[in-house]
Structure formats: structure tokens, C-alpha cells
């Protein structure tokens, strides 16, 4: 039975437990796997940065109530955030780095900025 290199797909000769033709294919394969992971991280980082810039854009003074639709129109993605913060009175803010928002009634959000401690 022929075995094929996991990277270049060429037939491998020699030992039957080999997965790559040589060290070069092995290294290239692992590098490409690493790049896939990096790409995922970069995509998420890009969305988070975009979210932060939208929050900053709508709330330059650091505390503003806006409609959710305004954030969405600016390209905000509510599925991505960095963390939550719950205040003493039980309000949970959703943060993208140092900018966060609190969901209010009537499809509105309170956008704030916060110093990172």
C-alpha cells in the first residue's frame, strides 16, 4: 500500500510509519497548521478592535446612551467581546478592551469607557 506525504501528497518511500517525505515537508506542514491558528486569532482580534472603535466612535466622551441599531450600522458585532464586568448594583457590562456597554430597555445601550486596572 502506498503512503502519501501529509504535506506535498507525494508517495513516500521507506519506513511505513513515515508521514512526510522529509524534514522540510514536516516543517512546512506544521508551519501551515500554525498559520491557520494565527489566522483565526487575527480574525477575532480584528472584530474586537472594530467593536472597540465603534464604541469609541459613538461615545467619544466615555458615557453615552445610543440605540443598538446605531452600533450595528457601524459594524458592531455583539457576539464578540473581551470580558464582562458586574457593578455593585448588579449591572453587567460587556467589554471590548476598555470600552463597554450595558443593555438597556427599548433596544438601547449605555456605552462607557473604563480604565483598565
Q: Which residues bind Zn ion (CB under 5 A)?
A: 5, 7-8, 21, 25
Closest CA to 95 of 76, 113, 108: 113
CB of 38 to Zn ion, least distance (A): 22
**Closer to Zn ion at the Cβ: 7 or 95?**
7
**Closer to Zn ion at the Cβ: 25 or 109?**
25
CB of 63 to Zn ion, least distance (A): 58
Report CA-CA distances (Å) from 78 to 6, 10, 12, 56: 39, 45, 48, 15
CB of 7 to Zn ion, least distance (A): 5
Torsion angle, CA of 22/25/26/31, rounded to 10 degrees? 160
Amino acid at each position: 500500500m502506498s503512503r502519501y506525504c501529509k504535506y506535498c501528497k507525494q508517495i513516500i518511500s521507506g519506513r511505513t510509519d513515515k508521514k512526510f517525505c522529509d524534514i522540510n515537508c514536516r516543517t512546512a506542514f506544521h508551519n501551515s497548521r500554525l498559520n491557520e491558528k494565527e489566522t483565526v486569532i487575527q480574525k477575532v482580534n480584528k472584530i474586537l478592535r472594530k467593536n472597540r472603535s465603534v464604541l469609541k466612535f459613538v461615545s467619544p466622551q466615555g458615557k453615552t446612551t445610543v440605540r443598538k441599531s446605531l452600533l450595528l450600522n457601524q459594524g458592531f458585532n455583539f457576539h464578540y467581546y473581551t470580558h464582562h464586568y458586574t457593578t455593585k448594583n448588579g449591572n453587567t457590562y460587556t467589554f471590548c478592551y476598555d470600552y463597554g456597554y450595558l443593555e438597556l430597555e427599548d433596544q438601547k445601550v449605555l456605552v462607557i469607557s473604563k480604565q483598565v486596572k
